[in-house]
Chains A and B, each alone.
Chain A
Amino acid sequence: MGTQEHQIDLGHLLAFDPLHHFPSPPSSREELVKECLQKGTELVQSIADTLFNLPSTEDIDGPLVKLPPPTTRLPREKHLPKPKPPTKWELFAKAKGIKNRKKDKIVYDEQTGTWKRRHGYDRVNDDEDIPIIEAKMTDEAGEDPFAKRRAEKKKRVEKQGKNRLQNLKQAAKVGALPSHIQLAATALPITGTQTAPKKVSKNELEDVASMAATATASGGKFDKKLPGEKPEKHKGKYRKFLPVVEGTGIGSLEKQQTEKILNKLISKNSHEILNVDKAINMYNVKKEKKRKNRQGKDSSTSSKLKPKKQLQKKSLKKGTSKKGKSK
């Protein structure tokens, strides 16, 4: 192995030997390991050569060396932070040429003759500390000037909040929202007219999606799904196909199917159809009920009879309702 070119990246303490190739194949595992270690030692030695020759400063633990920036470029893990767009006030100040003047935290208060802080507890020129407000000619009678001051301050604070929100929205549009701030949408009910739009839950959305999936012939089986979407619960459409081969002539299943459809069609379009079978059944049932009632009145009512009676009642009700519909 003569002079070999090692690509050294000091910033990462990386060495790469692109010219080495193994005389195929390495005989055994131990040989391979030994050779790798040997080559590795060479590479590490060459890095150390350059590293220890850098100018070093003495530190408590040992010599400290300033590493050069790395040469191999690796991808970032997050996007570059975007510069914040200037706020409305900043634009205005720039246009007018207003410079920010540094203010002291402690200010001399003439009234009390002491040094007070500018903001916070017990501050200079506090709006609420004024004990007496002199009435001016422009003031109305019966108006509370203190309440007026408080209301004005509240309005000012609200306006400031709105401006701040606007500035943040502008920043969010560019993508430069400060990292500790999040803008969350809150649903505000329109007072008097509607309730707040209800938040649709995940399960509800899944149900709706599976319902929509039945619009396709395959029941949504081959629909393109978003990443993470679960497969639909009701796979396929429920359709019953008759068997291909079934007996001779028209099989009974086909007959039943056609009969059902025809009955439905005819019953819809015809008026005053009497379901003879059903009528007979109902009449018979009524008769039996009467007989049993008479029997029951004569003999002692046993608990066994009672539930039966209730069943009869139920069937009667059903009959009557259907009768009404067919008419």
Chain B
Amino acid sequence: MLKIKTPKSGKAKREIEKRAPKLVESGKKTLILQGTKTSNVLNAVLTEIYHLKKDSAVRYTRKNENIRPFESGGETSLEFFSLKTDCSIFVFGSHSKKRPDNLVIGRTYDHHIYDLVEVGVENFKSMESFTYDKKLSPKVGSKPFIAFIGEGFESVDELKHLKEVLLDLLRGEVVENLNLAGLDHAYICTAVSSNRVFFTHCAMRLKKSGTIVPRMELVEVGPSMDLVVRRHRLPNDSVRKEAMKTAKEQPKKKVKNVSQDVIQGKVGKIYVPDQQVGSVALPYKAKGLKRERREAKMKHETNDRAPKKQKENSE
């Protein structure tokens, strides 16, 4: 016996539809959480990442002892959280003697772990330690520029994977129309060596130049850290193939009241509301109307004057 369960309120239905798989996907939500032990540095890193992605991130502050992303049994909690919060990227921080200041950045596909990259954080400088003109500070939610420098990102397997994951993490929403006045920050990642990436966040100042294109000036603003790649897990081939599938180009949405005619070409329909001929105000005063008004006024006056006179008499 099966029962059909449907949401009873419109709000619940809208929330469920937001989480349904769509043909074209918008930005991924990020889940930031920590393991058994964290250090000061790691706490600061996690909070700063949360601030950078304020609108599209969820921060969990409790210790999670049973999450071990790289072990086969330790992923169930992560998958459960990803299902409950509808987040498909997670940043998991933990600190141990063997792996100090450890960050595991992972992605999920259909709420199952897709791939993982483990990096260690070194030489971390928080947002507060940078001094700059406060007017330049970037706004939350603006689309960032992302720059990757270094041949390591192409030659080393782990750095290639890290590049893909960082791109997924740092890009904002996928938009079609971009407002050029709202570009104000950039992320720079440089491959210093074969396992170390220098990551920094800068605000952009657009200066006037001779041409349409303004001159860019970068001012270091946000957190800067060295990421040392420790381990990584690539996705299964079959899962990867399925995740990379793209939908066929959807036919453009039908525009209403427009049709194509073979002879006349593009034909549109315009609907005009009923004209109220009687109640339209005339732009000119008709002579006949004037006379009628005069007569009506006179009638009124005789009625009015009589009582007025009486009043005066009485007074």
Q: Does B179 contact A (CB under 8 A)?
A: yes
Minimum CB–CB distance from A49 to chain B (whole Å) comes to 5
Minimum CB–CB distance from B124 to chain A (whole Å) comes to 13
Chain B residues with CB under 8 Å of A74's CB are: 164, 167-168
Chain A residues with CB under 8 Å of B230's CB are: none
B198 — nearest CB in chain A belongs to which residue?
A36
In angstroms, Cα B175 to Cα A70, docked, is 10
Minimum CB–CB distance from B29 to chain A (whole Å) comes to 9
In angstroms, Cα B153 to Cα A22, docked, is 13
Contact present for A56 and B186 (CB under 8 Å): no
Of the listed stretches A59-67, A201-209, A211-219, chain B binds: A59-67
Minimum CB–CB distance from A184 to chain B (whole Å) comes to 5
Contact present for B198 and A48 (CB under 8 Å): no
In angstroms, Cα B13 to Cα A25, docked, is 58
Of the listed stretches B3-11, B42-50, B53-61, B307-315, chain A binds: B3-11
Chain B residues with CB under 8 Å of A53's CB are: 212-213
Contact present for B220 and A48 (CB under 8 Å): no
Size bin of chain A's contact surface: 35 or more
In the complex, per-residue mask of A10-48: 1 if CB is within 8 Å of any chain B CB, else 0: 011111111111100010010011001101110111011
Of the listed stretches B94-102, B138-146, B260-268, chain A binds: B138-146
Of the listed stretches A116-124, A163-171, A251-259, A276-284, chain B binds: A163-171
Chain A residues with CB under 8 Å of B182's CB are: 61-62
Minimum CB–CB distance from A156 to chain B (whole Å) comes to 18
Contact present for B17 and A52 (CB under 8 Å): no
**Set A47, A64, A78, A183: member contacting B21, Cβ < 8 A:** A78
A185 — nearest CB in chain B belongs to which residue?
B2
In angstroms, Cα B167 to Cα A298, docked, is 100
Q: Does A227 contact B (CB under 8 A)?
A: yes
Q: Does A240 contact B (CB under 8 A)?
A: no
Chain B residues with CB under 8 Å of A70's CB are: 174
A15 — nearest CB in chain B belongs to which residue?
B147
Q: A14-B148, A73-B244, A188-B1 are in contact. Are A79 and B21 (CB under 8 A)?
A: yes
Contact present for B147 and A12 (CB under 8 Å): no
14 CB contacts below 8 A, A to B, read: A37-B188, A37-B200, A37-B218, A39-B147, A64-B178, A72-B164, A76-B25, A78-B21, A78-B88, A80-B21, A165-B4, A169-B2, A183-B3, A227-B75
Of the listed stretches A107-115, A174-182, A262-270, A304-312, chain B binds: A174-182
A65 — nearest CB in chain B belongs to which residue?
B178
Contact present for B145 and A44 (CB under 8 Å): yes
The B interface, classified by DSSP as helix, strand, loop or mixed, is: mixed
Contact present for A44 and B216 (CB under 8 Å): yes
Using a CB–CB distance below 8 Å, which chain B residues touch chain A?
1-7, 13, 16-17, 19-23, 25, 28, 72-73, 75-76, 88, 107-110, 114, 123, 143-151, 153-154, 163-164, 167-168, 171, 174-183, 186, 188, 190, 192-193, 198, 200, 202, 204, 212-218, 220, 224, 235, 240, 242-247
In angstroms, Cα B146 to Cα A61, docked, is 23
Chain B residues with CB under 8 Å of A247's CB are: none
Chain A residues with CB under 8 Å of B144's CB are: 13
Contact present for B224 and A80 (CB under 8 Å): no
B164 — nearest CB in chain A belongs to which residue?
A74
**Set B179, B190, B215, B220: member contacting A61, Cβ < 8 A:** B179
In angstroms, Cα B59 to Cα A122, docked, is 52
Q: Does A77 contact B (CB under 8 A)?
A: yes
Chain B residues with CB under 8 Å of A45's CB are: 213, 215-216
Q: Which 8 A-B pairs give the minimum distances between C-beta atoms?
A: A62-B181, A179-B20, A77-B88, A75-B243, A40-B188, A78-B21, A43-B147, A228-B76
